[in-house]
Amino acid sequence: MNIIAVDDERIALEALMSAIIKAAPEAGIHGFRKPEAIFEYIENLEGGRVDVAFLDIDMRGDSGLDVARALIQKYSNINIIFTTGYSEYTLDALEMHASGYIMKPVTARRVKEELANLRFPIEEEAEDELYVRTFGNFEVFAGDVPVNFKYQKTRELFAYLIDRRGALCRNNEIISVIFEDEGDEGSHISYLKNIRSDLLSVLERHGKSDCLVRNRGEIGIKQGSLKCDYFEWLERSEDPVVRAKFKGEYMSQYSWAEYTLGNLLKETDYV
């Protein structure tokens, strides 16, 4: 689900986005204070769409009603949910056949209620859509269910490739990182072939084999090809809601992740 939130007041926008992220943590959420920025964002959407728009009605310049009319012209089935501190706009919202109407202050409970009763139901993504969580312990989910790997080292290989953000990693680099001093080099090479095969099998099972780049003796993950909190943070760390997802922990079970953790801590308030 792709959601936009619009309010020309910074504090109000942050409160709105915080409520949305609590109500729909897996949704893509983009916040705007200027209506013109919305349409610039939409123009750059490649094959995507906006499913839900939370709009403050009483804004300077273009009102939320004006923005809603323009969005409806672009997406006839977009769900418009108005937010306002003034009850006199209720009739206007009804006349536009808005999906919902929330009186400020906006709460996560009210957002969740509106998202559960959208005027135009959203076609859900496949239940086995992969989501990679790196903040805290590393975990991979298919929908709400953790993904099982045949080998524990497959999970660690996947984590390391995510951490490398698209860089191709040579076999000897991977062996030195995830095996350290365990066993002899010959057994490591054989084991690495098995866990590479296991990783490819898992990705194929969830329709994501194209995110894996494989060359002779090298392997990598395309950054942005998977839903991942770390990738989202790298792309949109200026967004306060996205920034707040990092709580000071990153791939906590892997000691080699401490370098990236240190960089994240420097870029946030966790210093």
pLDDT tens readout for residues 107-132: 999 999 999 999 988 765 545 578 99
Please state, in angstroms and rounded to a whole number, the distance separating the CA atoms of residues 244 and 229. 11
Q: 202 and 137: one domain?
A: yes
Question: Residue 16: pLDDT band by 50, 70, 90 thresholds?
Answer: very high
Domains held by the chain: number: 2
Q: What is the pLDDT of residue 225?
A: 82
d(CA 265, CA 268): 5
70 located within any domain? yes
Q: Which among 87, 116, 145 is the end of a domain?
A: 116
State the burial class of residue 104 (Cβ atoms within 10 Å of its Cβ: 0-12, 13-18, 19+): middle
C-alpha neighbours within 13 Å on the C-beta side of residue 205: 13
- Return mean pLDDT, the chain: 87
Query: Does residue 96 sit in the same domain as residue 147?
Result: no
Domain contains 41: yes
Residues 192 and 232 reside in one and the same domain: yes
Output the pLDDT for position 268.
Answer: 82
Check: pTM over 0.85? Answer yes or no. no
Per-residue model confidence (pLDDT) at position 184:
57
Query: What is the b/e burial string over 189-199, where b = at least 16 CB atoms within 10 angstroms of the residue's CB?
Result: eebbeebbebb
Residue 93 one-letter amino acid:
A
Residue 15: name the closest of 98, 89, 85 by CA: 85
Q: Which domain holds residue 107?
A: 2-116
Residue of 220, 166, 227 whose CA lies nearest to 196: 220
Which of the two residues, 186 and 69, has the higher pLDDT score? 69
pLDDT digits (tens, 9 = 90+) for 187-198: 788 889 999 999
Shared domain for 105 and 167, answered yes or no, is: no
Q: Which of 66, 91, 116 is the last residue of a domain?
A: 116
